[in-house]
Amino acid sequence: MHALQRQRRNRSSTPKRVIFKTIRIVLEDPQPVASALAQANLRTPLTSGRRKRRRHVTPLAITLPPKPSQRTLAFWLVKSSDSFRLFAIKMPVNIDDISTQTDALRQDYTFLEGFGVDAAKVRERSKVLKLSFTENSATVQTFVKVYSYHKSPFQRLWRKGTARREVRNLLFFKSTGIPTPRVIAWGQQRNALGKIIHDYIITEAVAGTQTLDGYITQHCPDRSEAVYCSRRDSIIDQLSRATRAIHTHHFYHQDLKWRNILARAKDDQTELFWIDCPKGDFTKSAIHQTRRALKDCATLDKLARLRCALEERLRFVAGYLNQPIDATEVTTFAQAVSNYRRKRFDAKDERQARQRQAKAHAAQTK
């Protein structure tokens, strides 16, 4: 009996014969392609399941324009039975280049004085102001965010500022294809000990946008109309692709709330812009990657459970995992996201609501 079960298990786990065709992209500078292919490990035999099987690899060369998109450098065209699937090997993000771009946007702290902002008067942890300035004889609407560090005399001592990290993260989003506001400048001020006491970031305002929660409430509150369905599906698909894109590069937002996403209508579709990401960072730890991926998805699910149907939430998970919506992996991950949300966010929200009620009751009884 056990031998028969083992034979059936081995038969079901044996993969079908698959023919891989690599498509090599010919560029003026072949070094980036060689680097991408090396990272994809194309030179070694591919494995599947418990048994190693050498695949039949047939090279096929094509030529692209002199300056193609840097996002996609090579493809695998995979033929399995009668179905075809297309996989893209994306060029890894060069953090050094993004850091160089970030430092190029740095301005002296006197640049902030041109906006009429005195950071010394900012006592809050952060303060956002909507101001305008003239650039190339045109008036530009901007958001100026000032961070102030007065909690401890050693806070941010010999460390990089929050504004710099936020600028780097916005540039990283842009490099992965996620729309973000244009960063105009950032700067910081240190004292004699090297401690950052103030830093700031200035971004251009995106016209016609509002927070994602307000946009859904006003422009697509439900699925009663076709345009509502189209806009809601557009939001879900964009969020799933964008979240998957940053997690592919082992970057995790850690504050992916609806208020940190701007939206505006474009015909029957929706345009999304990611803003405010001072906490996001890269990590190589597998444990942190799993936990932070759940945290990002659960943070989005905090309002999604109130504003979206179950099918829409499963559509997000399916897009995030790049799996069919009825796949077992989708159900399992969706349950993990819900469990994380209930444990970390729902309980905290309920506790804070009780505290607010208790304070209000105490104020009334006085």
Nearest to 76 by CA among 87, 68, 67, 66: 87
> Which fold would CATH assign to domain 96-204?
Phosphorylase Kinase; domain 1 (3.30.200)
Partners of residue 241 on adjacent β-strands = none
* Whole-number Å distance between alpha carbons of 166 and 188: 13
pLDDT of residue 74: 39
Q: What is the mean pLDDT of the chain?
A: 78
Tell me: the pLDDT tens digits for 323-362?
999 999 999 999 999 999 999 888 777 777 788 888 887 8
pLDDT of residue 81: 30
pLDDT of residue 153: 60
Q: How many CB atoms lie within 10 A of CB 186?
A: 27
Contact 204, 184 (CB under 8 A): yes
pLDDT of residue 45: 33
* Whole-number Å distance between alpha carbons of 337 and 342: 9
Res. 62 pLDDT band, cuts 50 70 90: very low
**What percentage of the chain's residues is helix, strand, coil (to nearest 5)?**
45, 25, 30
* Whole-number Å distance between alpha carbons of 223 and 236: 13
pLDDT of residue 363: 79
Domain residue extents for the chain: 19-92, 96-204, 210-359
**What CATH number has the domain spanning 210-359?**
1.10.510.10
* Whole-number Å distance between alpha carbons of 349 and 347: 5
Q: How many CB atoms lie within 10 A of CB 279?
A: 14
Task: Give the angle subtended at the CA of 249 by the CAs of 261 and 339, to the nearest 5°.
Answer: 60
Average pLDDT over residues 93-104: 89
Contact 80, 87 (CB under 8 A): no
176 Cβ neighbours under 8 A, 6+ residues apart: 71, 93, 242, 245, 246, 249
Tell me: the pLDDT tens digits for 159-178?
678 999 999 999 999 999 99
Does 210-359 match 96-204 at the fold level? no
pLDDT of residue 78: 32
Cα 195 to its chain centre, rounded Å, is: 30
HSE-CB at 108 with a 13 A cutoff on CA atoms is 3
Average pLDDT over residues 203-226: 95
Contact 109, 188 (CB under 8 A): yes
